[in-house]
Structure 1
């Protein structure tokens, strides 16, 4: 999904993280690329702070403000290249920021219709690694939402990993879907649903899988309505979706299905250990959200099965 060239980017909705570059503190990895892939399998699009690695120096109790600076300050702007939709159409970082603008604008207008106030969540864009209130964020962990500080953490290099290691298309909506999915967790948190992921179970119909699929559905709801989102001057942010855009989003959803990842990394599929849902289920629930454009259709806890 492309942005309108004259749309204005609001960089105040993101922050920049410090670039540690090395292995995050407290991370326990089995060694080599195999260990990194296993960690990605565990935490990709994850929202369980108990599973996130913790920096031993801080105990994971707070964000290291020395490493995270708000963007858009007078003392240097890490995102000075991001000014318009034209910038977002050619730069991954700018695309993430304008997607954050769009998602925050949509939910700020939508949730009050259900009697709920929406507080925009900030995204921390970082290089290598940085600290969150949930522990260390790194490109080895992948994007996640931290409910302890109400922020999303993304290393823009993750999109290359999504394409080269997991077979996703590299289209714009594939990247925008990732951002919208994480903000789906923020919506779940706002609605008091996030704790339902902690039922202690695994498998295709566990609470954790249902929470992940709900976030996929909420990402689809945003995608359906994204062309109505605007910047502060009222300029629409996004152009209408194309069939290729939807294929890109479905490609991203499928590439991180538990069955796809298990088949790729261990040569067999073990549904009993699923934490995020199958490729088919992730596509199904994104499509449900997109076709309906209705938050109410994203109830993944009422059906007896979500596959």
Structure 2
């Protein structure tokens, strides 16, 4: 992935909370510990599956009657919260080339520019960007409740924010799940989460009624977010900064392979096999490794919202 050194970066929606403390995920204060070195049949295996229920997904209500529709009384307070100035030096594409934090800003800018054009053009809907993409360490307060770094990256609909502790990629995705290393792994994850934001804007989250199972609405929601990530990847080199200067000059075949490998590493069947030694499709929440890879490629190859309509697909 190669950024344009002449591009200007917009840090207005990217924040960092520094080190937080205490708390758990959701209003009930649930704490989900990160398991380490789980072997087949171990009790830690089940914890890892629980963690991955929220990893690479949105923080949404899990009650009956489906997921919440977009809230018209948007909470924008997260944008104004205290910031550590982690991204203060991220000004140009040259900074993105040399600093992983600034690369994160450039990816957010690219996602915002892409969907700002694609959503009105393909769905005839008004686009609004995520209110905040916030990194943190330890714990962070969100519109979905207090979240710890042990949850992994997630999207929270009430404040339309993406949250992540960046240590997740090394400590969980690579070390515990055997996922790939590489500079395009995080952009794939961010694109997946931004896909959930697009689902929130479009009202797709309100279609979710069934939470588990290979044909469940929850799985369809996740596979669609993978497909949306593929859509952005296909068009990333066509995105611009606020002055119309290209943001991303090149994506390589290796970048695409890293995204596919990351999608594979978080497939439900692969996680279950790694952690419990058996595969139980009835408990799937995100889709199999094959499905996640395939729907990412559908978005990458087809590049349209219509092609990514997993809710109408007869076969996932």
TM-score by length of 1: 0.87
2:127 to 106, 118, 139: 118
After superposition, give the CA deviation of every residue in 1:116-160 in whole Å (9 maximum; x if it has no partner): 111110211112210111112222101111111111111111221
Provide the residue aligned with 1:240 in structure 2: 250
After superposition, give the CA deviation of every residue in 1:45-80 in whole Å (9 maximum; x if it has no partner): 22252259xxxxxxxxx9796996366xxxx73312
**1:103 and 2:111 equivalent?**
yes
- SS at structure 2 position matched to 1:233: coil
Q: In the aligned structure 2, how far is the partner of 1:179 from the partner of 1:30? A: 23
Provide the residue aligned with 2:160 in structure 1: 150
Q: How does 1:69-108 map to 2 (within 5 A)?
A: 69=81, 77-108=85-116
Contact preservation (8 Å) 2:13, 2:79 = no
Q: How does 1:85-234 map to 2 (within 5 A)?
A: 85-113=93-121, 114-121=123-130, 122-160=132-170, 161-197=172-208, 199-234=209-244
For the aligned residue pairs, the C-alpha RMSD in angstroms reads 2.5
Q: Give the number of aligned pairs.
A: 292
Higher-RCO chain (CA-CA 8 Å, sequence separation at least 6): 2
Residues 8 and 90 of structure 1: CA distance in aligned 2, closer, same or farther (over 3 Å): same
Contact preservation (8 Å) 1:250, 1:286 = yes
After superposition, give the CA deviation of every residue in 1:65-108 in whole Å (9 maximum; x if it has no partner): 6996366xxxx733123222233234332222211110011111
* Structure 1 residue runs of 4 or more that deviate by more than 3 Å after TM superposition: 21-25, 28-33, 62-68
Provide the residue aligned with 1:55 in structure 2: none
> Gaps (5+ residues) in structure 1?
53-61
Residues 65 and 115 of structure 1: CA distance in aligned 2, closer, same or farther (over 3 Å): closer
Provide the residue aligned with 2:303 in structure 1: 293
Give 1:268 shift. Answer: 1.1
Greater Cα offset, 91-100 or 188-197: 91-100
After superposition, give the CA deviation of every residue in 1:223-272 in whole Å (9 maximum; x if it has no partner): 00111111122221112221111100001111111011111111111111
- SS at structure 2 position matched to 1:37: helix
Q: In the aligned structure 1, how far is the partner of 2:186 from the partner of 2:283? A: 26
Residues 305 and 105 of structure 1: CA distance in aligned 2, closer, same or farther (over 3 Å): same
Residues 21 and 162 of structure 1: CA distance in aligned 2, closer, same or farther (over 3 Å): farther
Contact preservation (8 Å) 1:64, 1:132 = no
**1:27 and 2:30 equivalent?**
yes
Residues 232 and 166 of structure 1: CA distance in aligned 2, closer, same or farther (over 3 Å): same
- SS at structure 1 position matched to 2:103: helix
Q: In the aligned structure 2, how far is the partner of 1:103 from the partner of 1:147? A: 17
Q: In the aligned structure 1, how far is the partner of 2:76 from the partner of 2:141? A: 6
